Chain A
Amino acid sequence: MDILTKKKKLSHSTNSMLKSKTGSTPEGSNFNDYSSPLFIAWQLNSACNLGCLHCCEEAGHQMPDEMTKEQALDFCRQIAEMNIPYMAISGGEPLLCPHFFDLCQFIRSNNISLKIETNGEFIDEKTACRLAELKMRSVQISLDGAAAQTHERLRLRGDWEKAMAACRTLVSKGVNTEIVFVPTKFNIHEIGEIIDLAYSLGVYGFYTGKIMRIGRAAKNWEILCPSDEEYSKFFEVLQEKTAAYQGKMKVYYYPYDVVEELKYRLECPSASLLVVPNGKVKLIGPLPFICGDLKKQKLSQIWENYKKAWRNTEVIEFAKKVIADPKLLAESNNWRTVCH
């Protein structure tokens, strides 16, 4: 057999869940090709010390039926068994979950890449050391302003200094640290300054993209959503800064809004699952559909449900309605079950 006759090239594939797009559609580009998800986004808990105006999850208080530590660990065991390579834990504020570190320990001991999304306010020296020991893929801190006033106007009860201190401490402990910035009418003008600030903090990467019209952001849409003109300037600055920091700091931005994302997902669902604090599994953030329940079903079954759910007429029709009328995005957290 001639090796040249084999398609042995390393071909770059597509997975836009991971924000990578190409025009090609080689085998493996379709989520149906996969034996299990490639990525799990896990909203671990709903409790949060802040009340951000743009929170997608409408986090605040703990949900009464959140998964117990045992259920959460069982979920992690299934992730390891299914050889799922990568997951992200967010909340609420995940560091408020009493078994957060037990879960992280389990995940990392099974060599699963792990990203943590946090407001950073509970990261002191000791916590940063524990995160460093776990060799996380990254810890992502939300920083919504280049100054305290801006950040705290959007992140109610938030403390900009604490978020900044968290970045510094994590970087000093060698944790791969990222900053995420959500543009709104309040802070979009600070994009250039905050990227410079991120670089001065020594973080690995800076992430941003259009605000998602779901959760509390949908309710506050009129006061939050930047104008087209503001977005145009925003992306101009982002382009400049991306070029300026090339090779020094990763500046990443996703140019599509949630409706554009949904249109794309209808054609190409991602090989990923979104798990909410009570163990229900959502199809995708902007839609209200639940395709499984980890308290009652195996993850492998839920993965099959997920594949079927994207072909479900109710899902497709509702998604089309949302695309036509984005106000329906406000229903994204009124969960309803489909296909199981």
Chain B
Amino acid sequence: MNFANHVKIRNEKFGTVVFDTLTEKIFITDQVGAEILRLIEQSRNLPEIIDVLSSNYDGERQTIEKDIFEFVGQLKSNNIICV
């Protein structure tokens, strides 16, 4: 997974801004979303991202996995990342 060309990520006090400068659309996400974005930036694959978040957060692995899939799905459908 990689960020699409011209997608920019910036951290702010209120969260993380994802700016697709090609479509000129802005998205905001929170700390957990920001962590997923950071892992994508580090070229981690989906199982690795699930491992990292499962070890950092309490909760059922299955639930965490479902949330991550959902989040990554949103990134894909908005062309923020390409696979």
Interface residues of A (CB under 8 A from B): 1-4, 6-15, 18-20, 26-28, 33-35, 38, 83, 85-86, 113, 135, 137-138, 176
Taken together as a complex, chains A and B put the C-alpha atoms of A11 and B74 apart, in Å, by 9
25 residue pairs from A and B, CB less than 8 Å apart? A1-B58, A3-B32, A4-B59, A4-B67, A8-B29, A8-B32, A8-B36, A9-B29, A10-B18, A10-B28, A10-B74, A11-B29, A12-B26, A12-B27, A13-B27, A15-B26, A28-B12, A28-B17, A33-B13, A33-B14, A34-B12, A34-B17, A85-B8, A113-B21, A137-B6
Among B12, B36, B59, contact of A2 (Cβ-Cβ < 8 Å)? B59
| Chain B interface mostly | mixed
Report yes or no: B27 in contact with A8, Cβ–Cβ below 8 A: no
* With A6-B32, A10-B18, A18-B24: A85-B71 Cβ-Cβ less than 8 Å: no
Looking across the interface, which residue of chain A has its beta carbon closest to that of B31? A6
Looking across the interface, which residue of chain B has its beta carbon closest to that of A17? B24
Contacts of A34 in B (CB 8 A): 12, 17
* With A28-B14, A83-B10, A86-B19: A19-B24 Cβ-Cβ less than 8 Å: yes
* With A27-B14, A86-B19: A3-B74 Cβ-Cβ less than 8 Å: no
Report yes or no: B67 in contact with A8, Cβ–Cβ below 8 A: yes
Q: With contacts defined as CB atoms under 8 Å apart, how many contacts are there between chain A and chain B in the complex?
A: 101
Taken together as a complex, chains A and B put the C-alpha atoms of A13 and B69 apart, in Å, by 21
Contacts of A38 in B (CB 8 A): 10, 17, 19, 26
Q: List B residues 1-38 near A (Cβ within 8 Å).
A: 5-6, 8, 10, 12-15, 17-19, 21-22, 24-33, 36
Smallest CB separation, A40 vs chain B (Å): 12
Contacts of B22 in A (CB 8 A): 113, 137-138, 176
Taken together as a complex, chains A and B put the C-alpha atoms of A12 and B14 apart, in Å, by 14
Looking across the interface, which residue of chain B has its beta carbon closest to that of A29? B28
Contacts of B29 in A (CB 8 A): 8-11
Contacts of A137 in B (CB 8 A): 6, 21-22
Contacts of A14 in B (CB 8 A): 26
Taken together as a complex, chains A and B put the C-alpha atoms of A176 and B22 apart, in Å, by 10
Task: Bits for B45-71, please: 1 = Cβ < 8 Å to A, else 0.
Answer: 000000001000111000110010011
